[in-house]
Amino acid sequence: MILEVINIKTLTEKQLDQVLELDKLCFGGLWSLDSYKREIESPNSCLLIITVNSEENEKVIGLGCFWSIVDKAHLTILSIHPDFQRKGLGKLLLGKLLEKAENQGLKRATLEVGEKNYKAIHLYQLFGFKEAGKRKKYYKKTGEDALILWKKL
């Protein structure tokens, strides 16, 4: 596949089938179709995708979301298709999400991340996130603890 264009844009219903596939691949089916539809409709949700356009079609390869809660951005999802990881796309997507949060006047950002998800933790640390606590057995499927990370915007 020859890549021509990489885009970051707001998720619409047009891409939901591809987003569900990416969610299943990266998270094991964390959110349902109805969950994504609610996120699209919610004024407090910012759901971005990364797409690549080839000669044949447009493919969703990244997904990121935050919720606006009072003065903070709560990052809920950040994923890049395994075939496109380690190319800086996670940095690109996280940067865009934080930029949108700042543009909305939000003051802080927070998230939970699996304590053994070292690649994600490293990415968040590059953006200045600091550990603020831990949620014991946060991930029901694995029983893994989650680190709570915060940063000022």
Annotation marks residue 36 as catalytic: no
Active-site position among 112, 131, 139, 144? 112
Active-site position among 21, 56, 58, 124? 124
Phi and psi, residue 147, nearest 5°: -85, 140
Query: How far, CA to CA in Å, does 109 sit from each of 41, 82, 101, 153?
Result: 22, 25, 8, 7
User: Which residue bears the tokens 């539809």?
Assistant: 37
Annotation marks residue 139 as catalytic: no
Residues 6+ apart with CB under 8 A from 142: 114
Residues annotated as part of the active site? 112, 124
